[in-house]
Chain A
Amino acid sequence: MSDLVATAPFVIAQQDGLQELNLLVEGMHCPSCVAIIEGALKKQPDVLSARLNLTTRRLRVTWRGDASFGDRWVNLIQSMGYRAVPFDITTQETAEQKEEKLLLRALAVAGFASGNLMLFSIPLWTSDGMEMGAATRSMFQWVQALIAMPAIAYAGLPFYRSAWKAVREFRTNMDVPISVAVILATLMSLFETSHQGQHAYFDSGVMLLFFLLIGRYLEARARGRARSAAQQLLQMMVGTATQIMPDGSHHAVTSSDIREGMRLLVAAGEKVGADGVVLTGVSDIDTSLITGESLPQEVCPGDRVFAGTINQSAPLVIEVTKAGEQSLIADIVRLMEVAEQGQARYVTLADRISGWYTPAVHVLAAITFAGWMIWGNVPWQVALLYAATVLIITCPCALGLAVPVVQVLASGFLMRRGVLLKSGSALERLYGITHVVFDKTGTLTLGKPKLVSPQSYDESALQWAASIAVHSKHPSSQAVAQVYHGALLPLAVREVPACGLEAEYEGASVRLGKRSWCHPDAPPATDTLPELWLVASGTPAVRFTFEDALRPDAQEVVKRLHAAGMKTLLLSGDRPEAVKAVAQVLDIDTAHASLTPVEKSTILDELKHQGAQVLMVGDGLNDAPSLALATVSMSPTSAIDITQNAADMVFQGESLRPVLTAWKVACFAQTLVKQNFLLSIGYNVIAIPMAVAGYVTPLVAAIAMSSSSLLVIANAMRLNWQKGKTA
């Protein structure tokens, strides 16, 4: 097997002659893959440790010995059917991951502090100074200050930073009132403590941060899995190819050194390194990476091949027509990067609300201060105290929880129904969609060939074909083997590359494979379906035809989408006849065939410009840019990892129903979010007059704040009772 990837530059030499290599592993589907890969590596005599992270799909191998062993581990992993690519560990810890860790640390500190503060708050609330001496009271308050001050300084950092940034740019966001309220509450409490006053809000300040940090952390986690899809794709493409020099000698070139006009030798099983034209050789090309089509495509001299596809059966010599930056894959990467940047500009409902909430609250606090100063006849300290309580009590605690709690519950609910939600705001975007755009192969269809009317074949022909076909991993062969359930003939089968399978039986040869090899003089077929021929001496040749079956409930899902008032589109890179047939069966509004990835995303762009909110469902690499460009996107788990990364949601199984389920859950979740906003605003309508009138004490603030938060959480819980409606 050839070295697909040179790992040497990525190996990190450690002390005592240890070597370390970090790999990105693609193609893992379940936790036992972790055990298989780690186990295989640990069995190698030189390997000291191998640890694979299931969440990030990163594998760290350390071994004793030569740095060049790295290639062996990669080959070992690839021989087990996974793809592995080295990466540079230093560039990988992103700002987002750091932010998530900071939030978790802040959450821990706030949790610790608010728990311990309660130890002192409860005695302070429940006694009115009679049972507890003034000295003890004062000591309790000082201990509270001792715990709260460092906690507020540290746990509030995420809010202060973002608020400061907003204020510096003359904007405002939810973090501004939070920061002002927390800092004011602390300063005021310090002042009150030093004057033996009543109004020490240390516990409220810390509890506020604690609740808000829960919301923030949940939000960051939902976002954490997001998208460096384009970057990952480029990493998968790093590798080497074999160049044929004009004098006939062979040379290894890295993918960045491939130029137009070079001749490359692509061995069987190897990835095509650049876009090009076949010069010599006949083979099958697996294009599933790009189109999602599982049936290999036959190529002969003159045909075009694309970088990233895999040459399956026989060596090919290609002439490079487009290298590196011009290749189809590079086009896709560029489109995706542009689309991903555009996606970041989406403004969530919570952000829109905080736009008017913040100024309103601050104006109210100012009015309270002015009002007490003018008409209240109280010293300025007291007026300021009431103004500050207004800020504390209106602090958007429930508002901050309103969205993340619903998101987390909805994503759990969808997860149990086979839909993995990858982006926090995806549900909110899904709620407003007007158009649903489908890819054909692998999305509306299963992407696997299925034998056309298996009952029409002769039993013995099926038995022969299945007995031979079980020896092959070719999708068509597997489709034949699947429909036959009887006993198989024990045959010695050999594979003839680019032709088919051949078995010896009682001295005669039986062939299952291509027309040109099995039955070259057969009359041309009336249809264009993929086919396999079975020929045995003495019996007539049998032609098996295949079709890509629709997902079983595709028709019903499309019908229901129409009933909900949505427009449907079918964008496919496939032949016009095939696309038209599917569009007719499913009654899809508009269908376009023979599209390149660029054309697909152009159509989507036009739709968006006409004001449509588009849900894109697709699975091929050619869909990835459209997925990233669409308002919101879904892809099946059968799609390659890069496409799954570009999508906001990933769904499992043979059914298309999850698309409908996700939409319904999104609608319900949006209702809950709106109710939550109303609840928290309703709470303010009651609490604000009390605060303005000066009736709020630390106890009232603590009860009001936690009860409104609990109310919002309880309302979000209703999502789990929706089983009957959306399942």
Chain B
Amino acid sequence: MNILVYLIPIALTLGFLGLIGFLWSLRNGQFEDLDGAAHRILHDDDPA
């Protein structure tokens, strides 16, 4: 069972990284215009 000593922190860290990533993208304004972002991929000459 000693493997748990490694596995639990690893599992929690990975989950935590996902959470941080989400909060970062939220703060970064990536959820501001969901409708627009969905259509933006269809624009021909979007330099981004």
Instruction: Name A residues whose Cβ lies closer than 8 Å to a Cβ of B.
Output: 31-32, 34-35, 39, 42, 52-56, 101, 104-105, 108-109, 112, 115-116, 119, 136, 143, 147
Contacts and interface: CB of A to CB of B under 8 A. Distances in A.
Contact of B22 (A35, A108, A147): A108
A96 B13 CA distance: 33
Contacts of A52: 36
Interface of B: 1, 4, 8, 11-12, 15-16, 18-19, 22-23, 26, 31-36, 39-40, 42-47
Contacts of A136: 1, 4
Interface of chain B, helix or strand or loop or mixed? helix
Contact of B43 (A35, A104, A105, A112): A35
B41 to A, nearest CB: 10
Given A35-B46, A105-B26, A55 B15 contact: no
Contacts of B35: 31, 54-55
B19 A55 contact: no
A112 B26 contact: no
Given A34-B39, A112-B16, A55 B32 contact: yes
A631 B44 CA distance: 44
A116 B4 CA distance: 14
A159 to B, nearest CB: 20
B33 A116 contact: no
Contacts of A101: 26
A55 B34 contact: yes
Nearest to B42: A31
Contacts of B11: 116, 119
Contacts of B22: 108
B28 to A, nearest CB: 12
Contacts of A34: 36, 39-40, 43
A55 B32 CA distance: 8
A55 B22 CA distance: 21
Contacts of B31: 104
A143 B8 contact: yes
Given A112-B15, A136-B4, 5 more contacts: A55-B32, A105-B26, A108-B22, A112-B19, A147-B12
Contact of A54 (B4, B12, B33): B33
Contact of B19 (A39, A56, A108, A119): A108
Nearest to B12: A116
Contacts of B33: 53-56
B5 to A, nearest CB: 10
21 contacts: A31-B39, A32-B39, A34-B40, A35-B46, A39-B45, A52-B36, A53-B32, A53-B33, A54-B35, A56-B32, A104-B26, A105-B23, A108-B22, A108-B23, A109-B19, A112-B16, A112-B18, A116-B11, A119-B11, A136-B1, A136-B4
Contact of B36 (A54, A109, A112): A54
A32 B36 CA distance: 10
A105 B36 CA distance: 22
Contacts of A35: 43-46
A109 B26 CA distance: 13
Contacts of B16: 112
A115 B39 CA distance: 32
Q: Which 4 pairs, one residue from A and one from B, show the smallest C-beta to C-beta distance?
A: A54-B36, A31-B39, A35-B43, A53-B33
A56 B42 CA distance: 20
B15 A116 contact: yes
Given A116-B11, A116-B15, A53 B26 contact: no
A31 B1 contact: no
Contacts of A56: 32-33
Nearest to B33: A53
A238 B32 CA distance: 27
A116 B12 CA distance: 7
B36 A31 contact: yes
Contacts of B47: 42
Nearest to A107: B22
Given A104-B26, A105-B26, A115 B34 contact: no
A144 to B, nearest CB: 11
A54 B32 contact: no
Contacts of A31: 35-36, 39-40, 42
A52 B43 CA distance: 13
Nearest to A221: B34
Contact of A55 (B26, B36, B43): B36
A42 B36 CA distance: 18
Contacts of B1: 136
A42 B46 CA distance: 10
Nearest to B15: A116
B13 to A, nearest CB: 11
A143 B4 CA distance: 12
Nearest to A151: B19
A54 B23 CA distance: 22
Among A32, A55, A109, max chain B CB count under 10 A is at A55
Nearest to A146: B12
A595 to B, nearest CB: 36
Contacts of A109: 19
Nearest to B4: A136
A221 to B, nearest CB: 10
A178 B26 CA distance: 27
B29 to A, nearest CB: 10
B15 A115 contact: yes
Contacts of A119: 11
B19 to A, nearest CB: 4
A35 B39 CA distance: 10
Among A109, A112, A119, max chain B CB count under 10 A is at A112
Contacts of A147: 12
A645 B14 CA distance: 43
Contacts of A112: 15-16, 18-19
A116 B16 CA distance: 10
A104 B25 CA distance: 12
Contacts of A53: 32-33, 36
Contacts of A108: 19, 22-23, 26
A31 B40 CA distance: 8
Contacts of A104: 26, 31
A263 to B, nearest CB: 44
Contacts of B40: 31, 34
A148 B11 CA distance: 15
A35 B43 CA distance: 6
